[in-house]
Amino acid sequence: MRRRFPRARFRRPQQLRPSVPPPVRRALTRAQRLREQGDFLAAAAIYDRLAQEALARDRQRAGLQMTLEAARSYLRGAAGDEALKRARQAAEQARELGRPALVAPLARWMVRYLDEHGEAERAARFRAEMEDVLGQRVGRGPAAESAPAAARRLPASCPACRAPLYPEEVTWLAAERAICPFCGSVVLAE
């Protein structure tokens, strides 16, 4: 009887060939281009839609990533109220995932934004609300640098799916290798 090699032997690791549906990749590419052009509100609308689609498919981590990106894009586009709404949604999603720390940098940015726009009282209320939901302090300073040194060379977006990447939000496998939170592919620091 002929011996056959197990099929698994010829398979590449799952993370190396993530399945990002072409329309999703196209949408992420378009959103990236819009951000580069400074059209943050149009980009935010795309991330919003992708967040809803991911959550509807029970892809909680990817959904959170898109909600965070929608919030950031609205903030960059100076749409404070929209950003605030997404930040709250992201906090709830992160709490359900058991990953509240993922929202802390955005929460800090949001507090700073409100402070800088003369809404100190609202900023204080929002900070208290976030600390309650996230179960951790939301300070004023920039995000703590906990990612490895290679984080500085992490591509701005995932080569496989074009989702934006942030050193403090990816899972680091090693100093030079991180996992894209949206599609799960391994991203090499450049």
Interface residue list for Zn ion (CB under 5 A): 158, 160-161, 163, 180, 182-183
Angle between helix axes 80-97 and 104-116 (nearest 10 degrees) is 160
- Least distance from C-beta 160 to Zn ion, angstroms? 5
User: 24 or 134, CB closer to Zn ion?
Assistant: 24
- Least distance from C-beta 21 to Zn ion, angstroms? 12
- Least distance from C-beta 25 to Zn ion, angstroms? 9
- Least distance from C-beta 152 to Zn ion, angstroms? 19
Question: Measured at the alpha carbon of residue 127, what is the angle toward residues 109 and 51, in degrees to the nearest 5?
Answer: 60
Burial call 122-158: b when 16+ CB within 10 Å, e when fewer: ebeebbeebbebbeeebeeeebeeebbebbeebeebb
Strands (E), the chain: 171-174, 177-179, 186-188
- Least distance from C-beta 2 to Zn ion, angstroms? 40
> What is d(CA 49, CA 47) in angstroms, rounded to the nearest whole number?
5
User: 54 or 161, CB closer to Zn ion?
Assistant: 161
- Least distance from C-beta 63 to Zn ion, angstroms? 14
3-state helix, strand, coil in the chain (%, to 5): 60, 5, 35
Residue 175: DSSP 8-state: T
> What is d(CA 54, CA 31) in angstroms, rounded to the nearest whole number?
16
User: 27 or 163, CB closer to Zn ion?
Assistant: 163
User: 71 or 187, CB closer to Zn ion?
Assistant: 187
User: 166 or 182, CB closer to Zn ion?
Assistant: 182
User: 20 or 83, CB closer to Zn ion?
Assistant: 20
